[in-house]
Chains A and B, each alone.
Chain A
Amino acid sequence: MYVAAKGGETAIRNAHKLLAKHRRGNRSLPSITLDQIASQLTLAVGRVMAEGSLYDVDLAALAVKQARGDLIEAIFLIRAFRTTLPRFGSTLPLDTGVMLVRRRVSATYKDLPGGQLLGPTFDYTHRLLDPSLAEAEGGEEGSVPDSADGGIDVQPPAMPRVTDLIGQEGLIEPSPEDDGGEPFDITRAPVSFPVDRATRLQTLARGDEGFLLALGYSTQRGYARSHPFVGEIRFGDVEVSFFAEEIGFEVPLGRVQVTECQMVNQFKGSATSPPQFTRGYGLVFGQCERKAMSMALVERALRWSDLGEERSAPAQDEEFVLSHCDNVQATGFVEHLKLPHYVDFQAELDLVRRMRREMGADDDMQEAAE
C-alpha cells in the first residue's frame, strides 16, 4: 500500500542540483556534445533506441548524456518521451532483404551469394586494452582500406537471406504467412497470455539485453536446448516506407539501421511430415548483435508448443519471460522499494511486536538479559 509522504522539497531540489553538478563532472573539461555521443558511443545509442523502443539517434544521445551513461535510466527517459507524441500510423514492414549491408556473416555456409562481410566488428579482436586510445585522437581521416584498393567488385551484391537459400530446398520451416491482419501492439492494448508470435517479437525487441542474453545462454547450456546455428546475422540500413493517405502512395521516410539474426535450429519432423530445420528470429534497432542473437534464441525457445516440444526450462515460459524482460518495468518496481514505505513498515513492526508479545518472547529475552 502506498501512503503519500510530504516534505523534503528543499532537500530534493538540492539533490537534483547536486546530480546536475555530478553529471557535468569536472568543469575544467569541455562538456560532452550530443554529436560526440552519437558518433563515438554508437552502440550505447543503439541500445537506448532498441530498448527505449524509439528510433531517434539524437534523442538517444541526449538521454545517454542526461542519464550520466546509465543506459537503463536513458531508456526510461526515452520511453517517457514517446508517450508525449501522437502516432501518425504504422510503416510498411521493413524489407531486410534489400538492406544496405554493413555486416553480414553466416555460421552455416562459408560460401554464400553476396559473401561474408565482417564489417565493423569486435569479433577476432584480441580484447587487449589499447593504450593509444588514452591519448587524444586527431580529427584526421583514418585510413580505412576499401575495396577500390584491391580491385574487388564493388557492385553491391544481392544478399539473399540464408534462410531463403535453405528454404528453396524445403529444408527449413517457412515463415508464418502474412494474412493481411494487423499485428497486436503491446503499447496499445493490455497483454493477456498466451500471446502470438508477433506479440512475443515486439516484446523481445524492446526487452533487456542482459536478461535475454542470460536466457539465451541458458538454452545453450541445456535448459531447452535447441542446437542453434547462426544462419545469418546482418546489420545495415533499411528504407522506411509509410502509406500516407493524402499522398496516395508509399512515401519513403528515410533510413534506419537494424540488426537481424536468423537462428537455424535442430529439425523437427513427424511420421507424416519430413524433417525440417526450425528457426528463431531476432530484429533490433541499431548494431545490437548480442541482443539480436539472444532474442532469436529466446524466440525459438518460446515456440516449444508449436513445435511439439516439452516445456522444461525458464526460457520456454512465455509469461515469465515476457513479463520480466522489460527493464523499465523491472527497474521501476525494484527501485520503488527505496522510496518511503514508513507507514507500511510501521504496520509490520506493530504486527511483529504483537506476535512476539503473544508468544511471550520478549519476556523471555528480558529475563535472560537480567
Chain B
Amino acid sequence: MSVSSEITAEAAARRRVMGVLAEARGAELDAVLAQLAPVPPATDLRAPEMGLVMLRGRVGGDGAPFNLGEATVSRAAVRLEGGANGFSYRLGRSPAAARAAAVIDALWHDAARRAQVEAAIEPIAARLAAERSEAVHETAATKVEFFTLVRGED
C-alpha cells in the first residue's frame, strides 16, 4: 500500500466517524464521552461557536454551482492534554455538542483508543442506518407502475 493511499484510508475512516458525530444527538455524544471515561482534560483551540455556511447547489443538478441558501452550523476545536487535536463541524446550533464531538474526534487520533471510540459510536451509526433503512422501505412501498392506456377504437 502506498503512503498516499494509507493517508486516504485514514482520512476516509475519520470522515466516517465525523459524519456519525455530525448527525448524533447531543445526549448521544455525552453518552459516548461517559463511556470513554476517563477522558483527558481538553483545552479549546477555538472556543465552540455558532455560525453559518452557505449551501450550494448546481445548475441542473450537475452544472455550475450557485448559492442555494445558508444553514446554521456549530464548530469546535480542542487539544487533549498530552494528546491530539480534535475538530468538529455540525449543522445546527449546539456549540456544546460540537465541543463534545471535537473531543471524541481527538480521542479517535489515539491509536490505542481508536477501536474503543469506533465501538462507542457504533450505536449512533446503527440508529442512523436504521432510520435510513426505514425511509427506504416506506418509500419503496409507494413505488408505482403507471400503465399507458391505448387511445381510440383499436
Contacts and interface: CB of A to CB of B under 8 A. Distances in A.
A291 to B, nearest CB: 12
Interface in B130-145: 132-145
B70 interface: yes
Interface residues of A, number: 88
A339 to B, nearest CB: 29
B59 A252 contact: no
A176 B63 contact: yes
A252 B19 contact: yes
Interface residues of B, number: 56
A128 to B, nearest CB: 20
Interface stretch (B29-37, B85-93, B110-118, B119-127): B85-93
A109 B137 CA distance: 23
Contacts of A97: 61-62
Interface SS of A by simple majority: mixed
Contact of A150 (B69, B135, B141): B141
A138 to B, nearest CB: 20
B73 A175 contact: no
Residue of B23, B67, B93, B142 with highest tally of chain A CB at under 10 A:
B67
Nearest to A255: B23
Nearest to A106: B146
A230 interface: no
B64 interface: yes
B89 A183 contact: no
Interface string B7-34: 0000100010011001100000000000
Nearest to B50: A85
A82 B148 CA distance: 49
Interface stretch (A210-218, A238-246, A330-338): A238-246
B142 A54 contact: no
A119 B68 contact: no
B54 interface: yes
Given A147-B141, A251-B22, A54 B65 contact: no
Contacts of B64: 175-179, 181, 183, 197-198
B152 to A, nearest CB: 19
Contact of B139 (A119, A184, A206, A262): A119
Interface stretch (A110-118, A265-273, A313-321, A362-370): A110-118
A145 B142 CA distance: 9
A4 B135 CA distance: 56
B70 A262 contact: no
Given A185-B54, A281-B60, A93 B65 contact: yes
B56 A88 contact: no
A119 B142 contact: yes
B71 to A, nearest CB: 4
B135 to A, nearest CB: 6
Contacts of A178: 58, 63-65
Contacts of B54: 87, 89-91, 185
Contacts of B87: 244, 246-247, 251
A183 B23 contact: no
A55 B72 contact: yes
Contact of A281 (B61, B89, B141): B61
A87 B54 CA distance: 8
B39 interface: no
A202 B134 contact: no
Interface of B: 11, 15, 18-19, 22-23, 49-73, 75, 77, 87, 89-93, 132-148
9 contacts: A86-B49, A87-B54, A96-B57, A116-B144, A117-B140, A119-B142, A178-B65, A252-B19, A279-B60
